[in-house]
Amino acid sequence: MTDQQQSGPAARPSRRLFLGGALGAAGAVAVGVGGFAAGRATADDSADPTASQVPFYGAHQAGISTAAQDRLAFAAFDVTATDRLELMQMLGTWAAAASRMALGEQVGPVETHPQAPPADTGEAMGLHAANLTITVGFGPSLFDDRFGLAKHRPEALEQLPPLPGDLLRRELSFGDIGVQACADDPQVAFHAIRNFARIARGTAVMRWSQLGFGKTASTSTAQATPRNLMGFKDGTRNIKNSDTKDLDEYVWVGDETDQPWMKGGSYLVTRRIRMLIENWDTDYLADQERVFGRIKDSGAPLTGTHEFDTPDFKAVKDGKPVIDTRAHIRLAAHENNDGVRILRRGYSYTDGIDPVTGYLDAGLFFIAYQKNAHDQFVCLQHRLGQHDNLNEYIQHTSSALFACPPGLSGPGDWWGKALFEA
Amino acid sequence: MTDQQQSGPAARPSRRLFLGGALGAAGAVAVGVGGFAAGRATADDSADPTASQVPFYGAHQAGISTAAQDRLAFAAFDVTATDRLELMQMLGTWAAAASRMALGEQVGPVETHPQAPPADTGEAMGLHAANLTITVGFGPSLFDDRFGLAKHRPEALEQLPPLPGDLLRRELSFGDIGVQACADDPQVAFHAIRNFARIARGTAVMRWSQLGFGKTASTSTAQATPRNLMGFKDGTRNIKNSDTKDLDEYVWVGDETDQPWMKGGSYLVTRRIRMLIENWDTDYLADQERVFGRIKDSGAPLTGTHEFDTPDFKAVKDGKPVIDTRAHIRLAAHENNDGVRILRRGYSYTDGIDPVTGYLDAGLFFIAYQKNAHDQFVCLQHRLGQHDNLNEYIQHTSSALFACPPGLSGPGDWWGKALFEA
């Protein structure tokens, strides 16, 4: 039944799509389906393809300063191909596919030739774009001698050092390429990752993946601050997408980079932070608030009354600091870290039940973007991992670092084009 | 830090809440927090608690004929307590908690006494009710001699027999109690399951759990038919909540039951059906359509042009049946199963990557409600499991059966009250 799978006329339409070269999405698909006429329109009548679209092309990749969407699907891939051209083709095909999915369209027609597999897996047909963004980055391991990229590795793309509190599972960490798909509909985000995996077939395999069901940090002043699985508002002091000065200072790679292909890009750190929520849930309120340094209900710092009140780290009551010396917000605050800031856009996750303890395996899939992860995330985590009150309730079980290049300029551009042509 | 966990004044507020007896939700909480005044209002200003609420009380449990919500969190629990009263208390506490969550409220105040854990875990604060429904059922294993329930086990609650194609993982199957939480926001559904697990602490433990990210069957004519992860519309011919005659005939337990406590209830079957989507995605279009018996794009039967056209199982072209003899819709059709129908409300899932194959562990978490699972689901699955073209692409990895009692009549009623009082 699947004897067509290697040789069918459109078994890899999207590969051919890339080989068509610098084509726009519409033109590319005409190439993709070869000589076969599309039999039926693929758009569901109920879909409004212009609703909830985030522009795919631009100076920076979407999905970084974009207002955080509600749901996440993330995957790390390892490249299995040994041929540089194959890898380039995959990245180009991904870009063409992503440009279409960002419009709420399918990767290609579902109804093409009866003797060929559909060009799209189909489960997002009839769904809106749901503000889908797809953000791609390259891990340190891609810059070995397989693809001739070693000399183009940025100094900042050194693997993260061991950090206090690490309990990393290697099979859930690292990876040659990271892909973050965010959308307000989880099926749209999943569809993007799945079709990337399908296009990657024969070139790269998924190393690990992670779903996130609820955003835990707002990146826009128009968004209410969401709560993490500890029930606290998270990301109150996050960089917002209207803070263009902060974005330039802390998030976007600038002229300081040793690798011009990364200018306008950003470094992505992911950490799967399991929360021991059953223990947390038995802790009493005053202690929970001491751990964070915030009031649980309102989200206000313990020295304030409103969520966005600036914490007063010097405030003292009865001879003790009001915000504990090891409170999370004190240790994470830029005031106490030489001004260092990061852009967070993590998601709550749950992956069922820990077979050993019978407890929920749930927590935060932490995502942060920054100009230099070693100067920013690593410094913060060194401090948090050693001293944070939260450490009693969390375990870092996965870690990865990816260099996300700048945005794609338009049809024909693809992730890493400047890198491979450098 | 957690030395209060067993003895804190409100460590188990909701337990006490139940002991208050037949109280309404509001009254119950006043008991729950004991003598401590709530310090702050818990409602977030952005929440409209009257929006998107599904009535919790009624003749039937919500979450069965309710228009299928977008997201699912499901958990099966095993009872560890040996005392019948403890189990009854847990069920009563669940009911009180659920009645509040269905209104978009917390299980209890987050800000109570500083030396007590918050009565709610807090991550749904500020979120709407999101059409949350919580549906509870009892597995066959609950009716052993632990709680004196053996004599009240309905004949229909016999464990499902081995079925063709079963590849069941025991640790993901069965269970004393099943809880289905459906909502349009996955964080709301997760919050419900988590707080049930928390209330259960010391009485029952989670045996397995499952998240579903996209509904795969509509149960209302107002809903568009969703697509499963094979890209096909699923549930086109499902029983809809406006088909009251069909609901009475196929879904709600009636006078035929040997156990009066189940009258108005329904039997729930869950099956975790992994799809081998990487294989499926290489199959060509005509074969995919032959497997289902439907056109992928429109969802129309191969003998029709519109999704809701009735399949013509007798149609022949070039001497062959247009709808294959082993097509899924032919084998599943009530016309070909002595009129047998079930109410489906399954969800797509993904649980990361299969460590053996490197493929996505993804598919359908099948959920069906019916008057008698042995007469309905088992008959259908015997036929499908032996002959369905789909079998090449699916594996049933989990199975469970639960007897869901009728709806709760009002505050003071709880799941199983009639059973325990029988």
**DSSP notation for A101-129:** HTTT--SS-SSS-TTS--SS--TTTT---
CB < 8 Å to B14, chain A = none
Q: Per the CB < 8 Å rule, is B198 touching A281? A: yes
Nearest to A231 among B110, B113, B116 (CB): B110
Give B208's contacts in chain A (Cβ within 8 Å).
352-353
Residue found under tokens 């403890």: B86
- Backbone phi, psi, residue A393, to 5°: -115, 5
Compare all CA atoms of chain B with the CA of A348 and give the residue at the minimum distance: B187
Query: Is the whole model's pTM more than 0.80, yes or no?
Result: yes
Cα-Cα-Cα-Cα dihedral of A305, A310, A312, A313, to 10°? 130
Give me the residues paired with residue A363 across strands: A274, A349
Please spell the DSSP secondary structure of A322-389, one letter per residue.
SS-TT-HHHHH-GGGTTT---EE--EEEEEEE-TTT-SEEEEEEEEEEES-TTTTHHHHHHHHHHH-G
Interface size A-B, in CB pairs within 8 Å, comes to 232
H or E stretch covering B72: strand B71-79
Q: Rounded to an integer, what distance in angstroms lies between the CA atom of residue A405 and that of residue A413?
A: 12
Q: What is the model's pLDDT at position B82?
A: 93
Look-up of token digits 């189990």: B87
Among all residues of chain B, which has the CA nearest to that of A207? B358
Instruction: Report the share of chain A in percent with pLDDT over 70.
Output: 88
ipTM of the complex: 0.87
Answer for the pair B278, A206: CB distance below 8 angstroms, yes or no: no
Whole-angstrom distance, CA of residue A230 vs CA of residue A348: 10
Q: Could you tell me if A349 and A405 are in contact, meaning their C-beta atoms sit under 8 angstroms apart?
A: no
Q: Which of B342, B366, B76 is nearest to B215 (CA)?
A: B366
Q: Classify A264 as helix, strand or coil.
A: coil
Contact (CB<8Å) B231/A42: no
Please indicate whether, in this complex, the C-beta atoms of B44 and A224 are within 8 angstroms of each other. yes
C-beta of residue A290 within 8 angstroms of C-beta of residue A327:
yes
User: Tens digits of per-residue pLDDT, A148-166?
Assistant: 999 999 999 999 999 998 9
Taking 50 as the pLDDT cut, the residues of chain B under it are 1-47
Contact A213 B296 (CB under 8 A): no
- Determine which of B72, B123, B228, B295 to mutate to test the interface with A (most A C-beta atoms within 10 Å): B123
Residues of chain A with confidence (pLDDT) below 70: 1-49
Please report, as a single letter, which amino acid is at residue B377.
F
Mutate to test the interface with A, among B188, B297, B322 (most CBs of A within 10 A): B297
Contact B271, B281 (CB under 8 A): no
Percent composition of chain A: helix, strand, coil (DSSP 3-state, to 5) = 25, 20, 55
Confidence at residue B48, expressed as pLDDT on a 0 to 100 scale = 58
List chain B residues with CB under 8 Å of A298.
40
Distances (CA, A) of B419 to A316, B355, B412: 57, 43, 15
Q: Which residues of B touch A4 (CB under 8 A)?
A: 282-284
Helical H runs in A205-320? 244-246, 277-280, 285-292
Contact B29, B108 (CB under 8 A): yes
Please indicate whether, in this complex, the C-beta atoms of B358 and A205 are within 8 angstroms of each other.
Answer: yes
B234 contacts on A by Cβ (under 8 Å): none
Q: For residue A171, what is the nearest residue in chain B, using CA coordinates?
A: B355
Please indicate whether, in this complex, the C-beta atoms of B121 and A355 are within 8 angstroms of each other. Answer: no
For A118, name the nearest residue in chain B, comparing CA atoms only.
Answer: B285
